[in-house]
Chain A
């Protein structure tokens, strides 16, 4: 035994059935696919860092905007439809993930027309999602005046009665209880923080004014959904490039066939995966 081991070291693993000769694939995956996986892993850590900082700041804040109240508008002038629009966005992204799976499957079949067809649908889905996000941002910035440093979405911490109306949802004399959400509207560039009278607790009878919500909300929302949107946008660009290559017949000539479609597929599913968590953290919890 001892001599065997010695001999083994001396010959520098020559009898190791070729493990050190290269050209073996312990992970049975190509270099490109493997590196895509590790890129996605690192990207997952980036997103996790953002979402965790969101969690920490939210925990440190005495109140936080209620998502069902903040995200309740829908195109066509529909209000008070909590989470409807973001559910639609989720479905668009899920659908584009499905069409991507189909494109990869057609790639395995070496079916050029099939790959092109399903990739076009995926691109349409990606653009649809980006369009929805643009609308959502526009509503928040243009319609509700949320910015990275101002958050007009507040939450009441005591009961009370409004002493004025804002011409939107709140009328003079309306009452509220702790936990009720409000939106401070901007009129002609001026913030309309409504006055109200407290009706319970130690401050009963005092007249106060609506306060702005935790200011970190806007920055976190725009930064994290923006970073995700940027991923979707670059995904669409890559999808278009690869689709053009598919149409040109480039991958028919390649030894590894339609592997590029598989790689962009991995990326695209990852974008969908991140959305699952952004959806969870921003809209559901």
Chain B
């Protein structure tokens, strides 16, 4: 374990500088992409999303591997701690998909409610009592 005091001191300073710079770049991009810095200039939302996630992943790597010394642990320990987090990949995909579906269903029900309101009950000769579902 290369733990020379002076070099590790310099390394810590280097890592914190990189982390600070990444944070500044992140915020600058977030503001630039939404048109705060240059008027009327926007970056597409999904490109922004990918950029932000990439920057955050870089920060997470530096914190875990350098600050938490994961780089200097034996491979078995690294795997046993980091591999389980990959289960979250499916969790994220599944729940975002699910959330999107909730939204679609809500829209659908709302549209159906609107349709019913304008429907003529005379066709069948019966008067329906139209109940509206309160969604929120």
Q: Do A and B come from one complex?
A: yes
- Count CB-based A-B contacts (< 8 Å): 134
Total count of chain A residues near the partner, CB < 8 A: 54
A94 within 8 A of B: yes
In the bound complex, do residue A27 and residue B77 qualify as a contact, i.e. CB atoms below 8 Å apart?
yes
In the bound complex, do residue A37 and residue B77 qualify as a contact, i.e. CB atoms below 8 Å apart?
yes
Q: How far in angstroms is the closest Cβ of chain B from A120? A: 17
In the bound complex, do residue B27 and residue A83 qualify as a contact, i.e. CB atoms below 8 Å apart?
yes
In the bound complex, do residue A273 and residue B60 qualify as a contact, i.e. CB atoms below 8 Å apart?
yes
Knowing A68-B30, A68-B36, A94-B20 are in contact, say whether A27-B76 is a contact too (CB < 8 A).
yes
In the bound complex, do residue B5 and residue A269 qualify as a contact, i.e. CB atoms below 8 Å apart?
no
- A80-116 CB mask vs B (1 if < 8 Å, else 0) is 0011000100110011011011100100110000000
Interface centre among A26, A53, A100, A280 (most CB of B within 10 A): A280
In the bound complex, do residue B49 and residue A38 qualify as a contact, i.e. CB atoms below 8 Å apart?
no
In the bound complex, do residue B103 and residue A26 qualify as a contact, i.e. CB atoms below 8 Å apart?
no
A62 within 8 A of B: yes
Chain B interface size band reads: 35 or more
Closest residue of chain A to B19 (Cβ to Cβ) is: A94
A: which residues have CB within 8 A of B?
26-29, 34, 37-38, 40-41, 44-45, 48-49, 52-53, 55-62, 66, 68, 82-83, 87, 90-91, 94-95, 97-98, 100-102, 105, 108-109, 215, 265-266, 269-270, 272-273, 276-277, 279-280, 283-285
B: which residues have CB within 8 A of A?
3, 5, 8-9, 12-13, 16, 19-20, 23-24, 26-27, 30-31, 34, 36, 48-49, 52-53, 56, 59-60, 63-64, 67-68, 73-74, 76-77, 80-81, 84-85, 88, 91-92, 95-96, 98-103, 106-107, 136
